[in-house]
Every structure is written in structure tokens, then in C-alpha cells.
Amino acid sequence: MIFNDAGLKLIREFEGCALKSYQDQGGVWTCGWGSTGKDIGPDTCWTQEEADARLDQHIQEVSNQVIALLINQGLTANQFSALVCFTYNVGSGNLSKSTLLHCINTYHVDDASNEFTRWDKVNGVENAGLLRRREAEKALFLS
């Protein structure tokens, strides 16, 4: 399965690129194209090249994590890319426990598309930005 340019465009659009770290809406230190991790804190600063390299690395890691969780290997490039975009944001642990993945792996792919928009909350509160992202991921999944 291949992560495509449409998926990359979605990640870049919704993550944006910050070369100086900031705390996201959930309070997590973030830098570059939405990257998080133990190496990112209040004083983290990257060059554009570092941010782009981390994005490429993170997409490859997330793609491999998604592939490892899939029983249904028959997804289209857009379906797979939407799933990678989703997982880039929520993490593979959340994907692994989701009804979204269950629907895909039980070959109810049509039902899976309706699960994206259920993931629109930050700390239990609905978030308009996340809803827009989930709608875009759903649209890519259905295209």
C-alpha cells in the first residue's frame, strides 16, 4: 500500500509547519509538521529541512504501523492515505482500538467512512478544527 500525495497534502494542510515548538490544544509539545515525542520540548527549534525530514520519517513509521494493524489489505491508495492521515494525528494505539479499524478489517469499508467524524474531540470537548480534518479524511477515504 502506498501513501499518496493527496494524503501528504492533508497532513501538511491540517498540521501546518512550526519551526519553533508549541503546545497543541491537548498540551503536547509539538514542532515541525505536527511532530511530537520525547525529543520535543519548550526550547525545540528546527530548520525547514529538519521538519521535512521528520515528516517523511513519521509518515513512513505511521504507514508501517497502519499496515501492521490491517487484516484487509485491499484498500485503495486514497483509503490507505486517509487512514495514515488519521493515525498520524491520533496515534496507532487509538487506531488499534477503534471501530474504524474494526470496520475495515471486517470488510465493512463503507461503514468505516462514518467513523472518522467520531474523532473530533480534544480532552472530551468537540473541536471544529478536528471535525474539519476528519471530514477531509473521510472525503479522501471515499474518493
Pick the CATH number of 5-142 from 3.40.50.410, 3.40.50.300, 3.40.50.800, 1.10.530.40: 1.10.530.40
Confidence (pTM): 0.92
pLDDT at 10: 97
Nearest to 69 by CA among 32, 94, 38: 94
Residues 6 or more apart whose CB falls under 8 angstroms from that of 87 comprise: 62, 65, 66, 94, 95
Rounded CA-CA distance 92/143 in Å is 23
In one-letter notation, the amino acid at residue 13 is E
What are the boundaries of each domain within the chain?
5-142
The cell numbers describing 78, all together, are: 486514497
Residue whose C-alpha cell reads 474494526 in the numeric block: 102
pLDDT at 123: 85
pLDDT at 72: 83
Gap between the terminal Cα atoms of the chain: 16
pLDDT at 71: 93
Instruction: Say which DSSP state 27 is in.
Output: S
Per-residue pLDDT of the chain (143 residues), as tens digits, is 899 999 999 999 999 999 999 998 889 999 999 999 999 999 999 999 999 999 999 999 999 999 999 998 899 999 999 999 999 999 999 999 999 999 999 999 989 999 999 999 988 899 999 999 999 999 999 99
Instruction: List, by residue number, the catalytic residues.
Output: 15
